Chains A and B, each alone.
Chain A
Amino acid sequence: MELTPEQSGWLNGDGGPALHWAMEFNHELGMFFDAPHMVPIGSAHFAPDTRMAGQAGMDLLVKLVEAGAKSMVPGYLDPCSVDVGRAAELIADYGLTEDFVTEDRELFRLCVQLGFLPTQSCINYQTITPPRFGEHVAWGDTGAAISANALFGARTNFEGGPSALASALTGCTPAYGMHLCENRRANLKVKIACDPEEIADWGAIAAWAGGLATGYETVPVFYGSFAPPSFNMLKQLGVALASYGGHAMFHVVGATPEAPSLDAACGGAGPIEESIIEKADLEAVFERNTPSSSDVDLVVFAAPQLSVDEVAGIEAALGERRVHGNVKLIVAVDPQVKSQADNAGLTERLEAQGAEFSTGTCFYSEAPLFREATGWRTVVTNSAKLANTLASAGYETALRRMAICADAATMGVLAQ
């Protein structure tokens, strides 16, 4: 693997222990994937994930902070596991332990010391700074990463915690996977022969397409005659493809930057098998996601976090109605959107109707910890990704369109 003199020096320990760890990690990773060299990155997105990182993750961060390490590029933080403004309530009513909350805060503090901005966002491309077309970045959250690749034409692999850190500290990442043109071309054609109209529909399309061919190297292209999806619909399509298919890249002809045409998306690749999704297939995804009880415990809007216009969409769907007494309606936003919602009066009005904001979290990573203390079982959501992650955390999930989610929240039962 070809390294610059500076990178070779770091690998030999010339830059101190933190750069030595970071360069060695990225070098070994690059060798495994036959990366010819490193590419400089424009930004890093780091997911600390308290529950998954545990003491091993904490030990790494402490070691790097003690060595004086700093991110060389703008660094964004993924959502935390605790909405710090509601910590006391989460401990008293939701079953989080004080130790978990303390650990989450400590991880967050260490990340900020390493130079990461306290963004707590999985939609940093929407609420902070979008990546540039063709820019190499090292982004951690799979939803943020697939969005950077597909929606912006930037280039990143799925960077887990350690590798996003290693890339941030060295300002470079190994050139493999989605950094290379040949891996970004479509190799799965999906013709949309139905009329997706909203976020839930595009998530359902992803759930269906993700089941056709799973794997990091699968790149689907969607085409057909349908109304062009909005940015928020593309955002859900991406996170749900990453969740159901493990995909890191996709194209929608006429709507994403590397797909001005079907031919361009496929990049001259040979014949590719075509699958067609029809209305019956789409409806079957919704039917498959139906819980055993019609009594609703939770209605959650998350995964990914919402933009301010999506928050406004919840208010519009609720109208004058209040959230039912047996239901918790949770809205997951980053701190940037929370400020926007506060300024717009949305927070006050939605809270008056019985909604709860979860700020700086995305709900699903901490959801398994809530279940025992709360007895929550049935969740209704318009996010296919959330339905997928919560189903594996022991919840019974219903993927539904926005109007049915709003009805479920206000009536306490799921319409059949």
Chain B
Amino acid sequence: MSGREPALELTGGRGLGPDVSGPALVSAQGFGVRYDLSPETGIISNKEHDLYGQSVAGRILVFTRPKGGVAASWSLAELKRRGMAPLGIVFQRASPIFAQGALFAGLSLLHGLEDDPCAVLQTGDRLSLYPHAGRIEIFR
């Protein structure tokens, strides 16, 4: 994103994983792998979810809260191996399971930002995630 100034910035978060840039896919809901995703296709499969039918591949996902257990700890790595993983995930507040799953997969995870990412970010925004600085730059 060099050469352009971000339209907005979110700061004050905690994160892990590499710095990444990509398009945002923003939900007003929570997210759990067993409850919401088809691990075979990487597509949101829960008809009740506001991102139903969307592929998570190559996107930076933004959700309120994590749901579920063991599934997320494994499946992010398997999605990545098959080229279907998101670039990163942003939660209002993450859970141990998603932290473990992102760490195992080598994906970026950010949470605990000062402002609500679900309110500020929009699907289609270009995001640059700096997990270790706890910062997101937003280009729109």
| Chain A interface residues (CB < 8 Å from chain B) | 25, 28-29, 32-33, 47, 49, 51-57, 60, 78, 140-142, 157-163, 176-177, 214-217, 242-243, 246, 365, 388-389, 392
Contact = CB atoms under 8 A, between A and B. Distances in A.
B67 A28 contact: no
A177 B96 contact: yes
Nearest to A369: B40
A230 B81 CA distance: 45
Contacts of A214: 30, 65, 67
Interface string B44-75: 01100000000000000000011111111111
Contacts of A162: 73-74, 100-101, 103-104
Interface in B68-101: 68-75, 77-78, 80-82, 93, 95-97, 99-101
A163 B100 contact: yes
B73 A163 contact: yes
B65 A54 contact: no
Given A29-B103, A140-B69, 15 more contacts: A32-B14, A32-B16, A32-B99, A56-B77, A141-B69, A141-B70, A142-B70, A160-B104, A162-B101, A162-B103, A177-B96, A214-B67, A216-B66, A388-B35, A389-B35
Given A214-B65, A389-B34, A392-B35, A49 B74 contact: yes
Interface string B1-29: 00000000000001110000000000000
11 contacts: A33-B99, A47-B69, A52-B33, A52-B71, A52-B78, A53-B75, A161-B73, A216-B93, A216-B96, A246-B67, A246-B68
Contacts of B68: 142, 243, 246
A54 B103 contact: no
Contacts, number: 123
A142 B81 CA distance: 25
Nearest to A210: B67
A25 B70 contact: no
Contacts of B16: 28, 32
Nearest first, the 3 closest Cβ-Cβ pairs linking A and B are: A160-B73, A54-B78, A142-B69
Name which of B15, B67, B71, B73 has the most chain A CB atoms within 10 A of its CB. B73
B93 A217 contact: yes
B33 to A, nearest CB: 7
A315 to B, nearest CB: 31
Nearest to A389: B34
Contact of A54 (B15, B39, B73, B97): B39
A57 B39 CA distance: 13
Interface of B: 14-16, 30, 32-36, 39, 45-46, 65-75, 77-78, 80-82, 93, 95-97, 99-101, 103-105
Contacts of A157: 96
B83 to A, nearest CB: 12
Contacts of A140: 69-70
A53 B79 CA distance: 10
Contact of B101 (A141, A142, A160): A160
B97 A160 contact: yes
A54 B74 contact: yes
B91 to A, nearest CB: 10
Contacts of A53: 74-75, 78
B36 A49 contact: no
Contacts of B15: 32
Contacts of B77: 54, 56-57
Nearest to B35: A392
A54 B76 CA distance: 10
A159 B104 CA distance: 12
A177 B32 CA distance: 19
Contacts of A160: 69-70, 72-74, 96-97, 100-101, 104
Contacts of A177: 96
A56 B69 contact: no
A162 B101 CA distance: 8
A56 B78 contact: yes
B69 A54 contact: no
B111 to A, nearest CB: 10
Contacts of A141: 69-70
A246 B65 contact: yes
Contacts of B72: 160
Given A28-B103, A177-B96, A56 B80 contact: yes
A158 B96 contact: yes
A52 B80 contact: no
Contacts of A56: 74, 77-78, 80-81, 104-105
B79 to A, nearest CB: 9
Nearest to B34: A389
Contacts of B73: 160-163
A87 B32 CA distance: 29
B126 to A, nearest CB: 26
Contacts of A158: 69-70, 95-97
Given A25-B104, A55-B78, A160-B101, A216 B70 contact: no
A150 to B, nearest CB: 15
Nearest to A160: B73
